[in-house]
Structure 1
Amino acid sequence: MMKILLLFFTILIMGHVSCTTDNVTGITGGSVIVTFKTPENSRQSPKSFCKKTDDECTTVTTAQDHLWIPDKRFSMTENKSVGFLSVLIRNLTITDTGEYKFKAGSKWSEDVTLHVQHEPCCGTLEKQTADLGGTVTIRCKYPETYKYFAKLLFKVQNGSLQTISSTRGATTGDRFSLNVNWQENVFTVTIINVNKHDDGVYVCGAFNTFGEISYNSLLTEVHLHITDPTGASDIYVIIIMSVCLTLLLIGGLSLLLLKLRRDESNGSISSPNQTNTRDCDEVCTTVYYENQTLESLYVNIKP
């Protein structure tokens, strides 16, 4: 009986330990942000983040000013005032699966196990366009395993991720609204009265927390481009007017050249006519005088 009780308590203890394991999930092609709270006495100590491999811990990144750095897969920032440390891993692959540790000074934190899985719904980069002053809807799919996670839409702002809209109630204004379709595993964020500041990079996310650690699994990256249809039409009008003026100028120059050629042609024809007329006058005058002379001679000879 004692052996059975001992075995029972051993299973309970093992189960409790397994429940405290900090497991984080991510999607291939997507990203993940892991955030944990640091002890107050270690907030001024240097921080680092590493991956355990064969009982060794290889440093992946140290604390930096910005979390979202385009040319880096690993980045980490620290908010010392509230004692939060956030690590971002971008463009996840299966090989990123493993155990990680945070280090504050000389002390290591508890292990965090990252599980990266492939989901056909997510891990992609999409592009959308919206007209200035119009309405746009960003569509975010999520896996079934994230069904009951909090849903968020972030925007990349000055090296950080700003929450635009969330099922947890966080939002940046009345222009944004979030709706969840539980049957299709999709949530959408609608933006009304679109302005030029809405142009940028958005990220669909799912949030989970346990103990001292929380994480956001970033599912889809959306690049939103804002266009100005009024400005585009003005450009088209300017182009059309420029083409018309060019054609009118070409036509006017053609007519002018044609007129000049016609005038030159008329001048070359009139010159011979004037010469012939002058020659004719001289001949006719000579003939007239000769006739007059002959007549006078005839009169004088006449008996």
Structure 2
Amino acid sequence: MKKYKLYYLLALLITFVACSKETPYEALTDSKEGVFINITKFSGNAQNLKIFPFVDEARTIDFSSSYGGLGLPKSAINVEYVIDDKAFDSVNVVRQKSGLPLYLKFPADAYAISNMNATINSGETTSQGVTVKYFSKKFDPTKDYLLPLSISNAGGYKIGPNKTIFIIAAKVAEINATSISWIATANSEQPSGENTGKASALLDGDMSTIWHARYSPTPAGVYPYIISYDMLAPIYVTKVAIAPRQNNGNGPLTFKVEGSLDGASYTTILDNQTFNPDKRDGTYQNYAFPAPTNIRYLKVTLLTGKQALSFLSELAVYKY
């Protein structure tokens, strides 16, 4: 019986020693052989920032560096970063050859970097994080921006191929938001004898249909004519695009645009705009807002025209 107990204790001791033995992947070492330091947050070479909708507060992204090799660092590793102008220029060379617009550098007041160095502590594989704060209102949403940050020094260790994070503030896509589900009204309509004569015709994307001011029964309409949209939910409007009636050039000459969130209090966005009713070539005339404007209700007031009656083919709304 004592013999069996001895064997049992010996087996436990062997098991304990085997389990407690450090594997090569856990061993602490200062060897730099086969070890690389890389940027940890590395996805498709780029990190895209959220620019829109604009906010007053800073948004942030984070990244760090990682230790890649057999074992774990015995001593702490100091990693240093730099804004990589060489990488910036290299990317723009490729874009130029591809016929793409060149990136702009981040505006100096549009971002802040928390620290330009970080430490991978002993026994760890990842450094402390670096936070990049950015202010969306400082970027022009019609431009592309690039901020490359690279590892410049890894405490004597080799810098890996994923040494750079490309932080991109891409231009915001402008899209046609016009929907036939919106509610379109006008202070004067001709619902019979025209195609269709109603304000809703301005939403359908069909230049053969028109809104027409009332002429029958009398009294006929007179300027100013007010066309209103309820877009059902707030959107950031960037411009309106207007198409004249395609078979008659006696349309409006001047107009203004107002917007509202509640449908009661309106703000003038564009005033005394000039329109060409004779440009009947199947295209729109575009009127950009000074800045993207968050509104639900849109009001276009036609101020003057070639004659007392008025008409339009389309009134489209674009947004970010």
- Tell me if both proteins adopt one fold, taking TM over 0.5 as the criterion: no
Which is richer in helix? 1
Q: TM-score by structure 2 length?
A: 0.27
Q: TM-score by structure 1 length?
A: 0.29
Instruction: Flag the structure with larger Rg.
Output: 1
